[in-house]
A and B are shown apart, each in its own frame.
Chain A
């Protein structure tokens, strides 16, 4: 088995969280990102679920990468991912029913979240288990970080609370638009624009050095 060194690990994590952030850079899995990011708790819960599915699916597919024939690989990936998501759904319904109720339909929708299939196809099917697990974890952390940022903005402006705590006092009348779907697009677009701006500035600085 190819041993993974520290340098590669660092690259994997930096890619997942910053340079290839699944929501902000790769623009994958936006449907659930927009719909669920109405409060930080939901964003964290969704991020944790996606991370769990990502890590386990990457590990399983990496373990089976030499066993699954090429012609049926997509079908196999989908079966594995759907199975994993069903397990996550059942476990949440049984042990954290409040989170399951607030995330609702979007837990089963993780099956068609492009991030999972994209990482399975482009990374896990070609790399050893440890690297795939790290990649899954990194992408999951990147997804969760982006979700938390967007959810925090939407919750503070659209609901006057953060993590359920009132920050403006009871009299704040919230800008409902931000919590509704249009607000999701606006906030996410703004976050992506800000990220790209900062990135181009830092790259310019490094280019001048």
Chain B
């Protein structure tokens, strides 16, 4: 893109920041028109590009306007300037842009109508597959409808695994910060506080290092199977992937605290 275009784009942002007195409706057409005002006028500085097309009266008002946006200066736009800003041609330009946007939005809504149920179905399927793999002897899973205990700050959802009506385990969906971004896990813990296993739903760990540590057959995740929740500390981290390993361990610990609270709550009922 040419330098000219880039400057114009910056100008649109600048003038939107400086508009303090105009209403929302008017802002749209103003930002279109203000494409022709150089940044130098708005900021009162010299940037070296001259594009003087506006009468000097308007420039003076705008350089007043061009103080820092934190200073709430009350100023009056003369009726002459207003009528130039909201001239018919500019309003028509704004309207034509609106028409194009409306057409695109309509097309997007149409596509979304068809794809959104499929996407939801995919996600549910993924969750079901993960949960069934973690708790193979469960006959049904149901979403836990109650309040998630306060100790579960990173917990996104909990599924109750039932076998013929008896709760046998909890599948805790938990998210935490890994090395390269968030790691989404599902931790399955039995009601006797032994860990069934962990499934990684998504992560952004480094290929070959953190990502390899999170693989099903790597050294980290199998250590958790059958482990009592109290001895998570003894799990050995993967060398070179300490942050990733510790993130997984902290997730499991938090899930264990939450499941403990749920089991105690269920017992006292």
Binding site for B on A (CB under 8 A): 38, 64, 68-69, 71-72, 74-76, 79-80, 82-83, 86-87, 90-91, 93-95, 97, 101, 104, 117-118, 121, 158, 174, 176, 179-180
Contacts and interface: CB of A to CB of B under 8 A. Distances in A.
Contact of A87 (B1, B111, B207): B111
Contacts of B56: none
Given A87-B108, A117-B1, A79 B119 contact: no
Interface residues of B, number: 30
Nearest to B118: A94
B87 interface: no
B96 A74 contact: no
Given A87-B107, A93-B122, 10 more contacts: A71-B35, A76-B100, A79-B104, A80-B100, A86-B111, A87-B111, A90-B112, A121-B1, A179-B207, A180-B207
5 contacts: A76-B97, A93-B115, A94-B116, A94-B119, A176-B209
Contacts of A74: 1, 5, 8-9
B93 A72 contact: yes
Given A71-B32, A71-B93, A72-B93, A93 B104 contact: no
Interface in B5-22: 5, 8-9
A84 to B, nearest CB: 9
B101 to A, nearest CB: 5
B97 A95 contact: no
B1, B100, B118 — most chain A CB neighbours (10 Å): B100
Contacts of B108: 83, 86-87
A123 B100 CA distance: 20
Interface string B103-132: 011011001101110110010001000000
Nearest to B204: A104
B122 A91 contact: no
Contacts of B230: none
